[in-house]
Amino acid sequence: MDNQTQTAAKQTALVTGATSGIGRAITLAMAEAGYDVIALGRRATVLEKMKAYPGVRPMALDLTDREALATALAGEQIDVLVNNAGIIPPITRFFDMDQADIDTTLEVNLSAAIAVTRLVLPAMVARKRGHLFFTGSIAGQGAFPNMAVYGATKAAISHFAAGLRCDLSGSGVRVSEIVAGRVETELYRDALSAQARADMYEVYDAVQPEDVAQMLMTVLQMPPHVDVTRFDILPTAQFVGGGGFAEKDA
């Protein structure tokens, strides 16, 4: 076991939205590196299967339940927090959206991430070490049609991470934002039909969740005096506006 793995084995990570896609890939990568990973999600059956992976502690919990969240994390020393949980509401014009979808998107994508951070951050500051990751999106860096609310939550996450970094200057706690382009995950499962998702991923090769996890691990292993404040990870064929320069296999 190398020195990095020995160090990681003494640390605990908390990953939200850990049951699929980016969250699952990050959970497994960190566990393999020796971290004790609390994998938080709502899909109990999936979490049950994740018990098979050494170093993974599945926890079925709704992030919007503040009391249950505080109780579950009481006594836990979190060294790395990955705020990854997120949803995409129905992809439609803002004025056609249901208020319930708007409220849920704001709650899960923004409020929950802030709440989890507030629970674990004081102890990080007291220990003078820790690392906070936030999964953002290119939708938070530029406007996309029919995604006004989703984009607003990701823009808010980006600004929150930047502001938090100012507050934590000199504390020893690092903050990194993951700005993801098109990643092949289940995020669009409820927002798009199966055919629409297949068509979307046929245009060009999307980033895979494991690619994001690999990049996160690289950032995490930088020396303590280095803070990678943000990294953008997009398919080679995707430009920031969301489209692609070339058809797949063209």
Give buried/exposed letters for 22-38 (b at 16+ CB in 10 A, else e).
Answer: bbbbbbbbbbbbbbbbb
Tokens of 177: 């934002």
Query: What would you report as the CA-atom Rg of the chain, rounded to the nearest whole angstrom?
Result: 18
Per-residue pLDDT of the chain (250 residues; tens, 9 = 90+): 444 444 444 799 999 999 999 999 999 999 999 999 999 999 999 999 999 999 999 999 999 999 999 999 999 999 999 999 999 999 999 999 999 999 999 999 999 999 999 999 999 999 999 999 999 999 999 998 999 999 999 999 999 999 999 999 999 999 999 998 888 777 666 666 666 666 666 667 789 999 999 999 999 999 999 999 999 999 888 775 544 444 444 3
- C-alpha pair distances (Å), 7 with each of 23, 34, 65, 216, 221: 22, 8, 33, 17, 10
Residue 238: the pLDDT is 78
Residue 237: the pLDDT is 80
DSSP assignment of 137-161, as one string? Answer: -GGGTS--TT-HHHHHHHHHHHHHH
Q: Are 138 and 242 in contact (CB under 8 A)?
A: yes
Look-up of token digits 């709502």 = 42
Distance CA 246, CA 70 (A): 47
Distance CA 191, CA 91 (A): 6
Question: What is the set of active-site residues?
Answer: 150
Residue 196: the pLDDT is 64
CATH of domain 3-233: 3.40.50.720
Residue 236: the pLDDT is 86
Q: How would you classify residue 26: left for phi > 0, otherwise alpha for psi between -120 and 50, otherwise beta?
A: alpha
10 Å CB burial of residue 92 (0-12, 13-18, 19+) is middle
Residue 190: the pLDDT is 64
Which residues does residue 184 pair with via DSSP β-bridges, in sequence order?
Answer: none
Distance CA 105, CA 191 (A): 12
Residue 69: the pLDDT is 94
Residue 249: the pLDDT is 40
Q: Where are the domains of the chain?
A: 3-233
